[in-house]
Amino acid sequence: MKKRKPLGLVFVAIIVSVAAVAAMVSWWQSRPQGSPVAGEFTGAVLSERMTSARVLALGEATHGTHEFQALRLQLLQKVADQGFTTVAWEEDFGSVALVDAWLQGGPGTAVEAAGLFGYGLNRTRDTVDLLTWVRAHNDQHPAGEDIRFVGIDAARPTATKGLALASLAARNPTAAADLTARLARFTDESLWDRAVAADVESAVADLQAALTASDDGSEAAAEARQAGRVLEQARQRGLGVGNRDAMMFDNLAWVVERGTASGSERTLLFGHNGHLDRAGQATAVGGDTVGRLAARQWGDDYRVIGTDGHRVGLNSQGTVSTLTVNGRIRGLFEGTTVGYLELASVTGADAELLRGATTMVSAGEPFASWQAWVPPLHTVSVTPAEAWDALIYVWDASPTERLG
């Protein structure tokens, strides 16, 4: 008579078998697929399909990654002479206005100018390199051909408030003095204090009215009025109301229209992948993103380059993490270091691959080191053909070097 196997061993065998099958399925789904059709971004020439756009966006998959930030300068160098002289940032409006003043010939160094950005993630050596190049470009080009930076986020009330009040003081010093006192409590430090945000409601409204009444039709007055609008957005964020992406899109639309009116027909846009993709897929937040709203507003005049990576280092507020993501489309980028691929140029089975979902790396700020061990917290599922017009893939990416 045969002996029965212990029930415990049967369960163990079942568990091991299921785990092995799951591992094989996971490997099969995440194996590199596609033909190596991408080329190096350094030598790439963007097609007219991309450079004829009214707004050309460059996303970054993770905040705090050197290679993704370095792409800003590399892309700007490729398209600045094709009319992309306005650069919009996922950054604080007032803070970027201070940076732009330096780009137009203001005092100080590039390091000091980089330190003016509202978000610490942008105060990096890569940003210093970008500012140095833009300043040199502007020194060699006349007004109208110079590059201007504009922030589309409402994140730091102090700088935005200062811009609005300084402009008002030149036209109505009495009103400016009164509003300076009434808005004194509304600062970067008190942004998330709901009591302060509620208390300054009438003061922000009066500031907007005063800026409108004193508008002399100049560019400075238009910028001040926009600062008033952004200050109200910051106040709403302090109250915990309003959609940040919708606010940023409204500000982007203002930037684009202002650029068109001044002869700058094209705008370059920098931000996180999750804000910029056309389909709103590269985000865990949901709802209408800047990219979805832009695609709805401008259609094919909005083109977006997404970024992705295999082994990605990032620096989040001084904490360094490394993420490894096995997205299946990486086979398209075999043989490159920083590969570039315009999706409209892809045909056959490779095009079919891009019409399916793939896993992409994604991380914002702050990002805790433990999140690197939980894939759902640093990845998103995206259908590339729906989300992007082009992709840049970095095989090995390193953390940024922050200033200070």
The CATH number of residue 347's host domain is 3.40.1660.10
Last residue of one domain, picked from the residues 247, 264, 281:
264
Domain identity same for 91 and 128: yes
Is residue 258, in this structure, part of any structural domain at all? Answer: yes
Domain identity same for 226 and 312: no
Per-residue confidence (pLDDT) for residue 22, from 0 to 100: 43
Tokens 């309003």 belong to which residue?
242
| Candidate from 10-24, 40-54, 216-230, 338-352 with smallest mean pLDDT | 10-24
Per-residue confidence (pLDDT) for residue 24, from 0 to 100: 45
Is residue 237, in this structure, part of any structural domain at all? Answer: yes
Q: Is the pLDDT of residue 287 over 70?
A: yes
* Distance of alpha carbon 195 from alpha carbon 70, whole angstroms: 40
Is residue 73, in this structure, part of any structural domain at all? Answer: no
Per-residue confidence (pLDDT) for residue 14, from 0 to 100: 59
Domain identity same for 245 and 327: no
Q: Is the pLDDT of residue 31 over 90?
A: no
Domain identity same for 124 and 229: yes
Instruction: Output the average pLDDT for the chain.
Output: 93
Is residue 96, in this structure, part of any structural domain at all? Answer: yes
* Distance of alpha carbon 25 from alpha carbon 29, whole angstroms: 6
Q: Is the pLDDT of residue 403 over 80?
A: yes
Per-residue pLDDT band at 121 (split at 50, 70, 90):
very high
Domain identity same for 118 and 216: yes
Is residue 27, in this structure, part of any structural domain at all? Answer: no
CA-based nearest residue to 282, from 386, 373, 155, 353 = 386
Is residue 241, in this structure, part of any structural domain at all? Answer: yes
Tokens 């609005």 belong to which residue?
164
Per-residue confidence (pLDDT) for residue 92, from 0 to 100: 98
Q: Is the pLDDT of residue 13 over 80?
A: no
CA-based nearest residue to 269, from 306, 317, 315, 319 = 306
Q: Is the pLDDT of residue 11 over 70?
A: no
Domain identity same for 212 and 103: yes
Determine the average pLDDT of the residues in 56-77: 99
Per-residue confidence (pLDDT) for residue 18, from 0 to 100: 46
Q: Is the pLDDT of residue 80 over 50?
A: yes
Per-residue confidence (pLDDT) for residue 264, from 0 to 100: 79
Domain identity same for 245 and 168: yes
| Candidate from 159-168, 207-216, 266-275, 283-292 with smallest mean pLDDT | 283-292
Domain identity same for 112 and 241: yes
Determine the average pLDDT of the residues in 97-101: 98
CA-based nearest residue to 135, from 98, 176, 102 = 102
- Quote the domain boundaries for residue 356: 34-44+270-397
Burial group, residue 382, by CB count within 10 angstroms (0-12, 13-18, 19+): buried
Q: Is the pLDDT of residue 66 over 80?
A: yes
Per-residue confidence (pLDDT) for residue 4, from 0 to 100: 54
For 335-364, write each residue's pLDDT tens digit.
999 999 999 999 999 999 999 999 999 999
Per-residue confidence (pLDDT) for residue 286, from 0 to 100: 74
Nearest 5 degrees, angle CA 255-CA 147-CA 111?
110
Domain identity same for 188 and 318: no
Per-residue pLDDT band at 263 (split at 50, 70, 90):
confident
Query: Is pLDDT larger for residue 127 or for residue 286?
Result: 127
The partner residues of 320 in beta bridges, in order of sequence, read 315
Last residue of one domain, picked from the residues 212, 246, 264:
264
Domain identity same for 245 and 367: no
Report whether 267 contacts 256 (CB < 8 A): yes
What's the structural domain count of the chain?
A: 2
Query: Is pLDDT larger for residue 265 or for residue 201?
Result: 201
Q: Is the pLDDT of residue 8 over 90?
A: no
Is residue 2, in this structure, part of any structural domain at all? Answer: no
Domain identity same for 302 and 176: no
Is residue 72, in this structure, part of any structural domain at all? Answer: no
| Candidate from 12-16, 70-74, 122-126, 216-220 with smallest mean pLDDT | 12-16
Domain identity same for 144 and 208: yes
Determine the average pLDDT of the residues in 149-153: 98
The partner residues of 396 in beta bridges, in order of sequence, read 311
Last residue of one domain, picked from the residues 207, 231, 264:
264
Per-residue pLDDT band at 3 (split at 50, 70, 90):
low
